Amino acid sequence: MWMKELIDKKRRGQLLSAQEIEFLVKGITQGQLSDAQVAAFAMAVCCQGMAVAEQVALTRAMRDSGSVLDWRDMHLDGPLLDKHSTGGVGDLTSLVLAPMLAACGAYVPMISGRGLGHTGGTLDKLEAIPGFRTCRSTGEFKTQVKQTGLAIVEQSSQLAPADKRLYAIRDNAACVESAALIQASILSKKLAAGIQYLLLDVKQGNGAFMPDTDNAAQLASLITQIAQQLGLSCAALVTDMNQVFSASVGHSLEVQEALDSLTGQRRASRLLELCLALGERLLCLSGLQPTPEQARVALMKALDSQKALERFAAMIHAAGGPADFVERAATYLPQAPIQLPVYAGDSGYVQQMDCRKLGISLIGLGGGRVQATDCIDHSVGLSELCQVGTFVDSGRPLAVIHARHHHQAEKCRALLLEAIKTGPQKPAPHPIILGEVGQCHGPSF
C-alpha cells in the first residue's frame, strides 16, 4: 500500500477497507506519515465523512495502536466506568463528578484531553495545581485507581498513541468538528483504558462543536452504536451549551469552583444538576444503583458526607499535588494580578450568552492555545459569571475578569459585552438535558 494513494482515495470520497485504515493508523503512530499527511487525511475525513464500518475499523485500529489495559490483576470490587464530554466552556463537571462516582463504589480511570479550539481541557485545569502530574505510567495509573478510586491522566505513549498525535493535529488543521474523528478519538482512549461502562455528555449549542440538537443527537447515537459494536456498554445525554454550567471560566478559577462544589461552600445549580443527571445514569448503567432516584440519593450523600471531597483530595495527593491542597487551595492556585468587574450598559436580565466568545476571551487572556505548543496562563479567566436569567445592575457585574495585563483585560471586556446580552424581561429557564440515547439500566454488579 502507498499512503499517498490512500489519503487521495478518502479525499475523493471512496471507502477504505479495514486493512487500509490499519495501514494508515500504523503510519500515524510510527511517524511514517508527516504532519502534513496526517492533516490531509483528517481534512479528507472532515469533508467526505466515513461510513460506520470505516469508523469501527478506525476506532479499533486507534485503540490497538498501543496497549489496552487489563484490570483483572487489580481485583477491583466495583465497576470501571467513565464519563466523557465532547467539549464545552466553563465545564468542570469531571472534577466534581469523578470523585462523587468513586465515593459511590465505582472505579474511574479517566483519560482526559487538553483544550481543543475554544473549549477547555480537564488536564489543563488540573495542571494549575502545583506538582500535579497528568503523565503517569500504566502501573502508576492502575495503582492510583485501585487506591483512591479515580485518576485523571493524559494519554501515555502506550495508550492510543495514534489518537494522541491525531488529536493535536486536528486542532491546528481545523478538523475538530468531524463526527467520525470525534468518536474515534473518544472511544479509542476509553477502550484502551479498559473501562466497562461509558456515559457521553454530548454538548449542543453555541459553545459546543455541535451547534444544533439534531447533529448532537446524531453524534450521540453514532458513538453509542460504535461503542456497542466494540464491546463497550455505552449511553449518552445531549446537554445544553448555550450558557456555562458554572460561574467560572479559566483553569485555577474552575479548580477552585470544583473544590467549592465538593465542600458545599458554593454549588452552582446547573453544574450540580448536570453532575447528578450524569452520575445517576452511570450508577444505574453499571448496576451500582437500581433506580435513578436511589442513585441521586447516593450521589448527594457522597457530597454532603464529604466522601467525594476525600476522594478528590486523595487523587490530588496521589498525582503529586499538595497533601493539604483542600485546606489551602487559595495559597496554591495561581492568581492573576488584575481583577476587572464588567457591568452591563443597562440594568436588566441576562437574555442570552455566546459561550464560544467566552472561550475565545480566555484564549485572548493567555489561558488557551493558538498553537499546540503554546504555554497557557493558569491564573487568568472569568469569575462570578452570571447565568441566563440573572438580574444585573450597577451592583451585580456580568463577570469579573482575571488578567495578567491591562490591555488583555480591556479586550476581554469588549468581547464579554458582545457575548452577554441583557433585556427587560426575564427569559424562560433553559433545560439542561435535551435528549438521551441508549438504556441507562444495567445488570447488578
Same domain, 323 and 343: no
Q: Do the beta carbons of residue 68 and residue 191 sit within 8 Å?
A: yes
- Of 87 and 262, which is predicted with more confidence? 262
Q: Do the beta carbons of residue 402 and residue 366 sit within 8 Å?
A: no
Same domain, 275 and 178: yes
pLDDT, one tens digit per residue, over 291-339 is 999 999 999 999 999 999 999 999 999 999 999 999 999 999 999 999 9
Count CA atoms within 13 Å of residue 414 on its CB side: 6
Q: Do the beta carbons of residue 150 and residue 110 sit within 8 Å?
A: yes
Sign of CA dihedral 300, 305, 310, 311: negative
Q: Are strands 391-392 and 348-353 parallel, antiparallel or unpaired?
A: antiparallel
With respect to residue 209, please indicate whether it lies within any of the assigned structural domains: yes
With respect to residue 107, please indicate whether it lies within any of the assigned structural domains: yes
For the chain, percent helix, then strand, then coil, each to nearest 5?
45, 15, 40
Which helix (H) or strand (E) segment is 400 a member of?
Answer: strand 399-403
CA distances from 423 to 296, 347, 348, 396, 409 (A): 36, 8, 5, 15, 25
3-state secondary structure 432-445: CEEEEECCCCCCCC
Positions marked active-site: 82-85, 122, 170, 185, 189-190
CA dihedral 100, 105, 109, 112 (to 10 degrees): -20
With respect to residue 428, please indicate whether it lies within any of the assigned structural domains: no
pLDDT, one tens digit per residue, over 42-98 is 999 999 999 999 999 999 999 999 999 999 999 999 999 999 988 888 889 999 999
Cell numbers found for residue 239: 446537554
Residue percentage of the chain with pLDDT more than 90: 80
Same domain, 187 and 96: yes
Compute the chain's Rg from CA coordinates. Answer: 21
Which helix (H) or strand (E) segment is 60 a member of?
Answer: helix 52-63
Same domain, 145 and 203: yes
Same domain, 117 and 236: yes
Residue in 372, 382, 434, 348 with CA at minimum distance from that of residue 173: 372
Task: Give the pLDDT confidence score for residue 116 in this predicted structure.
Answer: 64
pLDDT, one tens digit per residue, over 116-163 is 667 768 999 999 999 999 998 999 999 999 999 999 998 777 888 999
Mean pLDDT in residue range 416-440: 90
- The CATH number for 238's domain is 3.40.1030.10
Same domain, 347 and 310: no
- The CATH number for 19's domain is 1.20.970.10
Same domain, 249 and 380: no
Q: Are strands 197-204 and 381-383 parallel, antiparallel or unpaired?
A: unpaired
Q: How much is the pTM? A: 0.90
Same domain, 277 and 411: no
Question: Total domain count for the chain?
Answer: 3
Same domain, 175 and 271: yes
- The CATH number for 352's domain is 3.90.1170.30
Residue in 195, 227, 240 with CA at minimum distance from that of residue 85: 240
Which residues, including other chains, have CB under 8 Å from residue 227's CB and lie 6 or more apart? 187, 190, 198, 233, 234
> Is the model's pLDDT at 442 over the cut of 60?
no
Residue 382's DSSP bridge partners are 249, 401
Range of the structural domain that residue 261 is part of:
72-329+433-437
Angle at 51 between CA 50 and CA 52, to 5 degrees: 115
Cell numbers found for residue 188: 479509542
With respect to residue 57, please indicate whether it lies within any of the assigned structural domains: no
With respect to residue 62, please indicate whether it lies within any of the assigned structural domains: no
Same domain, 317 and 364: no
Question: Burial letters for 78-112: b for 16+ Cβ neighbours within 10 Å, e otherwise?
Answer: bbbbbbbbbbbbbbbbbbbbbbbbbbbbbbbbbbb
With respect to residue 207, please indicate whether it lies within any of the assigned structural domains: yes
Same domain, 324 and 235: yes
**168-182, 241-255, 280-294, 303-317 — which is least confidently predicted?**
168-182
With respect to residue 65, please indicate whether it lies within any of the assigned structural domains: no
With respect to residue 404, please indicate whether it lies within any of the assigned structural domains: yes
3-state SS, residue 158: coil
3-state SS, residue 361: helix
Residue in 53, 80, 9, 95 with CA at minimum distance from that of residue 313: 95
Same domain, 363 and 258: no
Count CA atoms within 13 Å of residue 120 on its CB side: 40
